[in-house]
């Protein structure tokens, strides 16, 4: 299964403002302000000074409150933008939740070639599996990846597979058959060595070099 999203879509269930209200309450906003704003931090430290007179303490607290009123809306807007960035299509792609972010105006063309490519690839995989029942689908897909890259352009790959599919399958089928025959010979050598030797003699009766090798193996 492949997942896609429009470039303007959002992944969150809640709107950014709702997430900020839950995740970024006033106490956290004040902590961030104290950490990042040197003026607010200085006022916060001064307000805790017990040596100040009541008038001085009241003045500092008033300045602290005024600074909070100035900064809280700014920090809230930054938080909303930050949360919104985490829900956008590019972030979804980076996290692997979608395969691609698409422009709606180009979606029909994109999916047309994507489907043609997938169908052409599936035809190759099916043909390979028919040749050797011992192959798994993963094996067949790995062989397909030796022919075309998974990251190749869909239109180019689809056309290439459709135009040269017969030759592509033929070359892979030949490779599979050779590997299968080699495995069968190896199994026969383990189960019945004499039968293997007799079979090779019958298959290559006029090959001197082979006869000498078989003599040594016997």
Domains of the chain: which residue ranges? 4-95, 105-217
Is residue 216 over pLDDT 60? no
User: Residue 129 to residues 3, 77, 126, 139, 192: CA-CA distances in angstroms?
Assistant: 27, 57, 5, 9, 28
pLDDT value, residue 213: 58
pLDDT value, residue 210: 57
Banded pLDDT at 215 (limits 50, 70, 90):
low
pLDDT value, residue 124: 85
> In 3-state terms, what secondary structure has residue 185?
helix
User: Which pLDDT tens digit goes with each residue over 3-50?
Assistant: 999 998 888 778 888 888 888 888 888 999 999 999 999 998 998 888
Q: In the predicted model, what is the mean pLDDT of residues 193-199?
A: 71
Count of CB atoms situated within 10 Å of the CB of 101? 17
Q: Which residues contact 204 (CB under 8 A, 6 or more apart)?
A: 210, 211
Sign of the CA dihedral 30, 34, 37, 43? positive
Q: Are 33 and 68 in contact (CB under 8 A)?
A: yes
Is residue 91 over pLDDT 80? yes
Mean pLDDT, the chain, integer: 84
H/E run at residue 134: none
Out of 6-20, 105-119, 163-177, the most confident range is 105-119
């Amino acid at each position: 299964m492949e997942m896609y999203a429009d470039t303007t879509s959002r992944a969150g269930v809640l709107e950014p403002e709702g997430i900020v209200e839950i995740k970024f309450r006033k106490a956290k906003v004040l902590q961030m302000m104290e950490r990042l704003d040197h003026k607010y931090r200085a006022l916060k430290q001064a307000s805790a000074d017990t040596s100040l007179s009541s008038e001085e303490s009241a003045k500092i607290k008033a300045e602290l409150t005024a600074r909070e009123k100035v900064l809280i809306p700014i920090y809230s807007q930054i938080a909303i933008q930050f949360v919104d960035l985490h829900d956008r299509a590019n972030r979804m792609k980076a996290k692997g939740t979608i395969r691609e972010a698409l422009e709606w105006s180009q979606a029909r063309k994109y999916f047309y070639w994507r489907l043609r490519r997938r169908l052409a690839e599936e035809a190759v995989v099916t043909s390979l599996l028919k040749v050797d029942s011992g192959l798994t689908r993963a094996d067949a897909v790995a062989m397909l990846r030796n022919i075309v890259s998974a990251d190749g352009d869909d239109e180019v790959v689809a056309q290439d597979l459709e135009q040269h599919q017969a030759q592509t399958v033929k070359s892979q089928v030949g490779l599979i058959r050779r590997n299968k025959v080699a495995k069968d010979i190896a199994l026969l050598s383990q189960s019945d060595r004499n039968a293997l030797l007799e079979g090779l003699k019958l298959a290559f009766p006029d090959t001197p070099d082979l006869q000498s090798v078989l003599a040594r193996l016997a």
